[in-house]
Structure 1
């Protein structure tokens, strides 16, 4: 990695992340006392820009679209330029990088990442869209089926750059869920579809139920993560030129939602039961912690946040790590955020 000094808040970030990766950390009240409140449910321990505009083994470190915790406690970070990094979970220093490719050896527009129980990687690409499974060395092992309606037009009803962004395994590791970023043509513009797959006895994934989720107007879903009790953390994000990013974190519950896989357009009549959601925080409400922005933002802490993983938990508090995608753009920043998110049963 190109040498560069750690930024001002890396020490605070590292301390927060160390607590986040420790399952025996302090209880909810004490955990929130050590952070900075964004809302009654969310606090921020710190942020780090240490990887911004750096390289590792001649590969640009950035464009991060997804994060996942490895079984050995390290951090997997997926670049949408088809590179999969392993980072030290405490310092963020890269340990390795693996290139990914499709069946023809072409780089992916890789957006979502989940680590299966056997250590293999599930990676979504928003181009077709597709989900593929890779070995630890980046060898292509499998490709999952995708419903025709979710394919990019004209093959299906999805819009380009609006397909599988979020990817997560539900508790138990046998159900995979992918979130579309934007609505299908013909659906209400605020309703996006969440598709699931069930792992078979032979290790493949078969199509499962599909659910509908309503975003706030003008926002899309760049990331989703399953909580230990089967609910979902959902990031909603938007961008307005001259104003900046909107990034909101919701707690959503797919239990009881209608399977929409057989419903052509949404909302249906009678309206299908959508995934319920509760706002946890608008990240513009977080303290800025001295962060600076390279372009207008409602809070200088904000950037193009689109990666998220749960790094640990106590009884009712999740330790959550976010990362922004800098698009290799000089006006954007690769930034990591350590959050504590309080949930209720």
Structure 2
């Protein structure tokens, strides 16, 4: 086992406990994902904390956390707000994580950095929809989800560490929304996640299928979401893969709204990827599952304009569930962000964060785990 953290594990099979909430130090293991024991992974629960909706930093409301990464230079986490420049500027927060032997004690907000548009001017309200964030060689790499109803194309942008605009990646054909809805992104289901691959390339994923590729996830229906691999230097797309989003795991009460989608992903050192599938059922709440993904044998579908109308064999990315937050007794909110970094005491952790939607009924929730991956 090559540890990404130093820890002593109490090893339990994932999902082997009952309804009792996970205790600090409990470990949940997936020993052989894909039947490959060299890919084994385990998660040790370190606790939960939250910041209540309504908290403000520098007179700007905190919330909407949809992207998360760790800054090695400062030893702090950075978090992207999905505020569409309505409650304040488009912004990234610096966070301190307080971890002790008793577990995760708190997350504190130090400051925010405003993200600027082309020409280094503030984004106009509703002109941007920040969703995913990673730190790279030039600064912040982040996505704007775009909007089908507003005809706002999704985008991948790079900003300097001070928030000033640097450049924008090229959008692949078929992703921009169309007025008639025959192609392009579904509304609010676009560039929700981004990660940096070990090669240095950037991988961006849709939350659900493009209009021309298939339906949104349903109770009996998965959805083929595209993952786009970009060359980090040129910003041009070089490959696309299919990630099959699972069907909605439970119905809404009395037939009310229920959905599922790919809300976050994070590349590991060996090139495999952790993804978060976040589902919500009205009256029942959220179901959060973490999967391990392998792109090694997936079909490059860059040349395929419509997955729904393509007849040749397409091999999607392999995926397997490695952790079910509800299944280990947690009550997750709207988890949309995930990163590996270090807490204030030096412990290396996997940190998950929830988007509170700036709603008084929700909270900015954080879960911390130690993570160990078996590498050969």
Cα distance change, pair 39–150 in 1 and its aligned pair in 2 (3 A): same
Distance 1:80 1:274 in 2: 29
SS in 1 for 2:174: helix
What's the offset of the Cα at 1:208?
1.3
Counterpart mapping for 1:218-229 below 5 A? 218=248, 219-229=260-270
With normalisation by structure 1, the TM-score equals: 0.81
Does residue 146 (structure 1) correspond to residue 171 (structure 2)? The answer is: yes
Equivalent position to 2:282, from 229, 233, 241: 241
Counterpart mapping for 1:113-152 below 5 A? 113-118=133-138, 120-127=139-146, 128-152=153-177
Q: Is the 8 A contact 2:170 2:237 kept in 1?
A: yes
Equivalent position to 1:257, from 293, 298, 314: 298
Partner of 2:95: 87
Gaps of 5+ in 1: 1-21, 289-300, 313-317
With normalisation by structure 2, the TM-score equals: 0.74
Distance 1:157 1:199 in 2: 23
Q: Is the 8 A contact 1:37 1:286 kept in 2?
A: no
SS in 1 for 2:231: strand
Partner of 1:163: 190
What's the offset of the Cα at 1:38?
5.3
Q: Is the 8 A contact 1:150 1:158 kept in 2?
A: yes
Equivalent position to 1:74, from 57, 73, 76: 76
Counterpart mapping for 1:1-345 below 5 A? 25-26=6-7, 29=9, 35-37=25-27, 40=30, 41-50=42-51, 52-72=53-73, 73-81=75-83, 82-90=90-98, 91-103=106-118, 105-107=123-125, 108-118=128-138, 120-127=139-146, 128-154=153-179, 156-172=183-199, 174-189=200-215, 190-200=223-233, 204-218=234-248, 219-266=260-307, 268-288=310-330, 301-311=331-341, 319-345=349-375
What's the offset of the Cα at 1:113?
0.4
What's the offset of the Cα at 1:145?
0.5
Q: 86-95 or 62-71, which moves further after superposition?
A: 86-95
What's the offset of the Cα at 1:34?
6.0
Q: Is the 8 A contact 2:5 2:372 kept in 1?
A: no
SS in 2 for 1:285: helix
What's the offset of the Cα at 1:31?
8.4
